[in-house]
A = this chain, B = another copy of it.
Amino acid sequence: MSAQTRTRTFSIKEAAALTGLPASTLRYYESIGVVAPVSRSASSGHRVYDEDDLDLLTWVACLSATGMSVSDMRQYVANGAAGAAAAEQQIELLSAQRERLAREAERLAVRRRYVQLKVDYWQAVADGDDARATSLSEGARALADELKRTK
């Protein structure tokens, strides 16, 4: 029932759509060895991705999205290929990643409030409501302080 689904292959465009990474980045990651060279169509020379490639790339996409360096990703992928033996190290790498994300989330929340405040500020300026503008301006300053502390 799934003999053909499991062996389906994908063009670079499809792989890009499925992993969320631009095609240019897929080529780039391959060129610098983050992922192994992808097999090619014999006739056209175009890259042909299988489902295993996609699984790996989805995972790499997640790592890169969280600010992991390409050399760390290379390392991580190598570990992943080594299998369960490297589980300990995977967990370590991932926990660091998780904390990075948590901090990122905090900073992002503050930034959102900051931007909203700035929108309100300029709205007040546009409305000629100077008192409100001044008070918002002070709020922005306070938030900017908070932003710098969370960093």
Contact = CB atoms under 8 A, between A and B. Distances in A.
Interface of A: 17-20, 55, 58-59, 61-62, 65-66, 84, 87-88, 90-91, 94-95, 97-98, 101-102, 104-105, 107-109, 111-112, 114-116, 118-119, 122-123, 125-126, 141, 144, 147-148, 151
Nearest to A114: B62
How many copies of this chain does the complex contain? 2
B119 A101 contact: no
B108 A95 contact: no
A114 B98 CA distance: 9
Contact of A84 (B20, B87, B107, B126): B126
Given A105-B108, A108-B108, A122-B94, A18 B148 contact: yes
Instruction: Label chain A's interface by main secondary structure.
Output: helix
A101 B112 contact: yes
A137 to B, nearest CB: 9
Given A87-B125, A91-B119, A111 B66 contact: yes
Contacts of A90: 118, 122
